[in-house]
Amino acid sequence: MSDDQATGIEPFDAVDVIRAKRDGGAVAEAPLRWMIDAYTRGYVTDSQMAAFAMAVLLNGMERDEIRVMTDAMIASGERMSFAGLGKRTVDKHSTGGVGDKITLPLAPLVAAFGVAVPQLSGRGLGHTGGTLDKLEAIPGWRAALSNDEMFTQLRDVGAVICAAGSGLAPADKKLYALRDVTGTVEAIPLIASSIMSKKIAEGTDSLVLDVKFGSGAFMKDVDLARELARTMVALGTDSGVSTTALLTNMSTPLGLAIGNANEVREAVEVLAGGGPADIVELTVALAREMLTLAGQPDADVDAALRDGRAMDVWRAMVRAQDGDPDAPLPKPRETHTVFADAAGIVTRMDALPFGVAAWRLGAGRARPQDPVVHSAGVDLHAKPGDRVAVGQPLFTLSAEDGSRFARAIEALEGAWEIGAEAPASVPLVLERITA
């Protein structure tokens, strides 16, 4: 607290900060730091911060402004440290998509090489699934760990996937909720500072970002996704965290499973040396990126999937959080399969409608307080490029209540096509972005 604040006098005025950004100017460091702090304290009102967020959406921010805002958000709470761990730490963050269960096989795979993976994850909202929701399909597994439990698990097991504590970047939590109801979610400086304030506060040595584009991604446009990736890589670099990003395609669902329990099942298949080719490809690409940042560019990632080392870490990681890796996963009460009405090649499966369908079946939530149904979701039997015959299963919907099928099928109207020619091959990983 400054001397002015101690006497009840604020050193800056929110209206001046709003006007500066409204008129397209850059906000100086001191007033910008004050704005974030004063909002966290409740001095700056929601309406004032909403006006500022809209000005940022319309006029953008310079790199130094984004760095200052991110740093101010970090300073609003605690900052973790893994300095006494005796291992290099590396984390991964995905901007989210449909069928994106990559964290589940990735964390134990990287940890199999003696690197610590502190993966603070979140819950799903809308059509994008949450990593914690998926893992809670495992009987007994718990997301909430104390900092001491997290440190012990990183030391003994090497990987932890858990909920972020409320002490990390509380300014972000408050601003995130405001953005959601004021039409400012899409502002790249605000997205970047939101993600990176939490990741930098987490205290990891290095960070790999999986920034997605396409119909099932938060950023549909590849150029905007690239801008977001570059902004976040710059923020990490400026804060002393070695950061790189992969720009990855989310036009088609990842893998064959969309939901919670079924995505856990698919992740375990990958750890057992199998699984869908696209899940394996992205898991391996991100693992190589993470291990390169952790000083092991020549690590044989494929071997660790084949020989069971990654599976051993997975089982230990689940057990350390009171889960039973051998327990059966929840199964749905009702299923409904959709069959091909024409012969040919699947040319398109849009990710977004399949994500919405899984959400409507109960796999996601409309409000943060809503529960998820772990057994609900969609299982694909064919993907673009696959040849199908008339009457062959295309996908199966799962739910606890069969009355949910009609709205899920409604979401999938026009979401796939069967044609005569195979679609053009599109790379899953489009490019690598570094500082």
What is residue 416's three-state secondary structure?
strand
Same domain, 244 and 158: yes
Residue 275 pLDDT? 97
For residues 94 and 139, state if they share a domain.
yes
Q: What is the CATH number of the domain that holds 239?
A: 3.40.1030.10
From the candidates 76, 193, 194, 197, which is the catalytic residue?
Answer: 194
Residue 394 within a domain: yes
What pLDDT shows up at residue 260? 96
3-state DSSP assignment of residue 409: helix
- State yes or no: is 172 an active-site residue: yes
Q: Of 93, 101, 134, 212, which is the active-site residue?
A: 93
Could you say which of 123, 179, 212, 374 is catalytic?
A: 179
Under a CB-based contact definition with an 8 Å cutoff, are residues 111 and 159 in contact?
yes
**81-126 pLDDT per residue, tens:** 998 999 999 999 999 899 999 999 999 999 999 999 999 888 776 6
Quick one: pLDDT at residue 365? 80
Q: Are residues 238 and 360 in the same domain?
A: no
State the burial class of residue 423 (Cβ atoms within 10 Å of its Cβ: 0-12, 13-18, 19+). Answer: middle
Q: Report the percent of the chain where pLDDT is more than 70.
A: 98
Number of compact structural domains in the chain: 3
Residue at 198 is within a domain: yes
Which of 101, 174, 198, 315 is catalytic? The answer is 198
Residue-level pLDDT at 266: 98
Residue 359's domain comprises 334-419
Domain end point (choices 265, 299, 327)? 327
Last residue of a domain, one of 281, 298, 327: 327
Q: How many CA atoms lie within 13 A of 333 on its CB side?
A: 10
Summarize the confidence of residues 21-32 as an average pLDDT: 97
Q: What's the rounded mean pLDDT across residues 175-192?
A: 90
What is the CATH classification number for the domain harbouring 33?
1.20.970.10
> Is 2 a known active-site residue?
no
- Statement to judge: residues 105 and 163 lie in one domain: yes
- Asked if residue 429 belongs to a domain, the reply is no
Task: Check: CB of residue 61 under 8 Å from CB of residue 189.
Answer: yes
Predicted pLDDT of residue 121:
87
- Name every residue whose Cβ is closer than 8 Å to that of residue 83 and which is 6 or more positions away in sequence: none
Cα angle 240, 58, 199 (rounded to 5 degrees) comes to 25
| Main-chain dihedrals φ then ψ at residue 200, nearest 5 degrees | -70, -40
Domain assignment present for residue 73? The answer is no
Higher pLDDT, 56 or 129: 56
User: DSSP string covering 55-97, please?
Assistant: HHHHH---HHHHHHHHHHHHHTS-----GGGSS-BEEEEE---
Residue 124 · residue 100 · CB < 8 Å: no
> Same domain, yes or no, for 151 and 292?
yes
With respect to residue 75, please indicate whether it lies within any of the assigned structural domains: no
350: CATH: 3.90.1170.30
- Cα separation, 421 vs 334, in Å, equals 34
Q: Which of 76-85, 106-115, 379-388 has the lowest mean pLDDT?
A: 76-85
Are residues 152 and 241 located together in one domain of the fold? yes
- My answer on whether 316 and 394 are in the same domain is no
User: In this structure, is residue 387 part of a structural domain?
Assistant: yes
Average per-residue pLDDT in the chain? 94
179 catalytic residue (yes or no) = yes
Task: Give the pLDDT band of residue 308 (cuts 50, 70, 90).
Answer: very high
In which band, very low, low, confident or very high, does the pLDDT at 76 lie, cut at 50, 70 and 90? very high
Please check whether residues 95 and 209 belong to one and the same domain.
yes
- pLDDT band at 2, cuts 50/70/90? low
Indicate whether 4 pLDDT > 60. Answer: no
Q: What is the pLDDT of residues 269-298, one digit of tens each?
A: 999 999 999 999 999 999 999 999 999 999
- Looking at the structure, do residues 383 and 323 belong to the same domain, yes or no? no
For residue 387, the SS3 value is strand
Q: Clarify whether 94 is annotated catalytic.
A: no
The answer on 191 and 126 residing in a single domain is yes
Same domain? 247 vs 388: no
Are 257 and 112 within one domain?
Answer: yes
Domain finish residue from 297, 327, 357 = 327
Q: Is residue 220 part of a domain?
A: yes
Of 172, 238, 278, 350, which one is the catalytic site residue? 172
Q: How does strand 117-121 pair with strand 159-163? A: parallel
Supply the pLDDT for residue 369: 74
